[in-house]
Amino acid sequence: MNSFDFSPIGHITSCYKEKFGIPRQPGLVSLAKAQLILKQDFTEECIRSLQGFSHLWLSFVFHGNQQKAWKALVRPPRLGGDSKVGVFASRSPFRPNPLGLSVVKLEEIEIKNARVILHLSGCDLLDETPVLDIKPYLPYVDSISDAMGGFAHHKPDKKLDVVFTEEANMQCQLQSEQLGQDLHALIEQILQLDPRPSYQQGESGDRVYAMKLYDFDLRWQYCENKKIKVLSLLDSRV
């Protein structure tokens, strides 16, 4: 049997600095931005005419999961973590070969010091993700109107209301000004999807959750009446 040795064509810089909190599919958090920085070998010629496409397919490596073995049966979050399906009937990141496929929006192409930088949005990619290939998204073949989605036939509902404490709101405004992005809207999109493990969803209480977003630690709690309270955005570099 043949073996293959692939080298990345570039890597991702992303707002997601750790796995927890990343949406489980691309496009669910439209405001999530990232950049794909190509290696120097892949010059401007490699992306000639790419600007005519609105979306791209990225083939990448689940580099943050390489220490955990794959299993034939997995528990998809969409089934509440209670039912098992085959690994090939899921998009679990723990796979026989740790390869992922993601469709992202191409916002801008930048050439900086002879390096190609693709500015992307709607991403579900961890920071420093190695990318193996880029292909343009073709609506006439990639969007199939009568396709069947199995147990995941529709988008997950955004059932949670997100509120900010006064402290968190002030910190969010400050961070938004520094990053040039509406972090309030980004955080709301992320938390509405309830990034907790399935077995914890539906619970409320004093437990504080946290994720690293850009260069700060986002902290929040789940309250009654399907409400999330954002507590703080603390600079993780301090």
Are 14 and 78 in a shared domain?
yes
Residue 148 inside a domain? The answer is no
∠ CA 87-18-53 to the nearest 5 degrees? 75
Residue 90 inside a domain? The answer is yes
CA distances from 206 to 7, 92, 166 (A): 45, 30, 18
Q: Which residue carries 């990034």 as its tokens?
A: 195
Are 105 and 23 in a shared domain?
yes
CATH code for the domain in which residue 115 is found: 2.40.30.70
Are 136 and 28 in a shared domain?
yes
Whether 81 and 198 have beta carbons less than 8 Å apart is answered as yes
Count of structural domains within the chain: 2
The CA-based diameter of the chain, rounded to the nearest angstrom, is 60
Q: What is the pTM of this model?
A: 0.90
Residue 147 inside a domain? The answer is no
Residue 70 inside a domain? The answer is yes
* pLDDT, tens digit only, all 238 positions of the chain: 678 889 999 999 999 999 999 998 899 999 999 999 999 999 999 999 999 999 999 999 999 876 678 889 988 877 877 789 999 998 888 899 999 999 999 999 999 998 999 999 999 999 999 999 999 999 999 998 888 888 777 777 767 899 999 999 999 999 999 999 999 999 999 999 888 877 677 666 788 999 999 999 999 999 888 899 999 998 876 6
Spell out the alpha helix ranges (H) of 88-203: 139-142, 166-179, 183-192
Are 131 and 27 in a shared domain?
yes
User: Which residue, of 142, 169, 189, is where some domain finishes?
Assistant: 142
Q: Do strands 208-213 and 99-112 pair parallel, antiparallel, or not at all (unpaired)?
A: unpaired
Q: Which residue carries 């404490």 as its tokens?
A: 165
CATH code for the domain in which residue 221 is found: 3.30.2310
Are 18 and 135 in a shared domain?
yes
The domain of 177 spans 161-235
Are 86 and 197 in a shared domain?
no
Are 29 and 120 in a shared domain?
yes
Helix axes 166-179, 183-192, angle to 10 degrees: 120
Residue 205 inside a domain? The answer is yes
Residue 40 inside a domain? The answer is yes
Are 39 and 124 in a shared domain?
yes
Are 165 and 131 in a shared domain?
no
Contacts of 27 (CB under 8 A, 6+ apart): 103, 105, 122, 124
Are 130 and 177 in a shared domain?
no
Q: Which residue carries 């098992």 as its tokens?
A: 84
